[in-house]
Amino acid sequence: MSSKVPIDLQPIHEESPPYTRGAYYNDSFSYPPIDPERPGPSTAYSPENPDADHVQKFASIGLEISSAVIGSVISHPCIVLRRQCQVNRKATRYHLSPFTLLPVLLRLQNRQGLLCLWKGCSGIFILRGCTIVLETFLAEATPFPREVTSNSSLKQLSQHLLLKLISFGVLTPFLCASLAETVQSDIASEKPGVLDCLKEGVCRLFKLGTPRSSRLLPMWQLFGPSALVGVSTYVLSSLIQSVLHWFRSLKLRNAQEKAVYECQASQSSAATYLDNLSIFHFSSFMASVIMYPAETMVHRLYLQGTRTIIDDLDSGTSVLPVISTYEGIVDCFNTILSEEGASGLYKGFGALILEYAIQALIVKVAQVTFRELESLFGTPNVKRISADHSS
């Protein structure tokens, strides 16, 4: 009599990944980690199928690399276009659809070259590192946890959010510097160095360097709005992720009742990672849509008085200075409504749609490609699991 293979019939619960943002809230991601060595249903038969195990490891590494590329490189041109639209209060074309951006994109590329769409990319990477270092330091120096799970207490959740609030507030000067690097025109400004994001952030914080405009808002007026928008976006994204994971667990529970859970149990860790990545992108997109007006207002306050010159996305062939006289976040909101209408809060929304459409397409292609690789090199475990379970 063959020995039975123990199968855990409880639903699979994945922990939501930490939503660590880089240069600004939805501009770069820390994707959920994948551990190819972690035992589970997909690795139960790996000694019998070493080829599939090797494929699994290479797929895991490839997915980690592709995730970073998606978040910080491929999506960056959309981030540049979106931010330039957001801070341009004089624009007559709001680019609420991605289709209106395509001709402007071509004119920009023909006039300034392809690299003009990747300006400020280095600053985003540096700021991502600063975020990780700062949060790690705060977690070590205080009792505040850097990461939480669904099993964390209310006190731990509150402390975690306080850590995020402090992190976003401390990084506000560097967020301002990174935004300026991303939106400034290449043909009207000097190209920033690799570490200029840090240098300009320190100068902004301590009012050093070249004389600033009198319209420049003091940093204490930006700490609050910046931290609140960042934490609100983080909370929304995390809540949406939790709901989606709950629905997936409910789906698996229903699959158990229909005696098809074994098919789900054979899902590989890399395939699960891709599913988590899809949930992650969707939750980030929904949070970005909800918080888009607040992001627009904060971006305008960041640049006020910095004498930044941006590309005119009405034509794609000229430049213009960023000039505004907002007194704070409330005055910014009222002025946008009176001068540009409610749709002015959504300038550049088409670039956000284009950004996440590209990410969704890449994730879908990765899922299809991985399934094909599994069918070629991996041995299905479903029949073996079902046979042993029925015995």
Could you tell me the sign of the dihedral formed by the alpha carbons of 303, 304, 308, 314, in that order?
positive
Flag residues of the chain having pLDDT under 50: 1-26, 28-49, 260-266, 379-387, 389-391
Q: What is the pLDDT of residue 289?
A: 96
Give the single-character DSSP code of 23.
S
Q: What is the pLDDT of residue 196?
A: 86
Residue with tokens 């639209």: 85
The tokens for 319 are 């430049």
Half-sphere exposure of 181 (CA within 13 A, CB side): 30
What does pTM read for this prediction?
A: 0.80
Q: What is the pLDDT of residue 131?
A: 93
Q: How far apart are CA 308 and CA 295, in angstroms?
A: 18
Q: What is the pLDDT of residue 53?
A: 54
Q: What is the pLDDT of residue 316?
A: 85
pLDDT tens, residue by residue, 197-212: 999 999 988 887 766 6
Which residues share a beta bridge with 177?
none
Position 185: which residue type? Answer: S
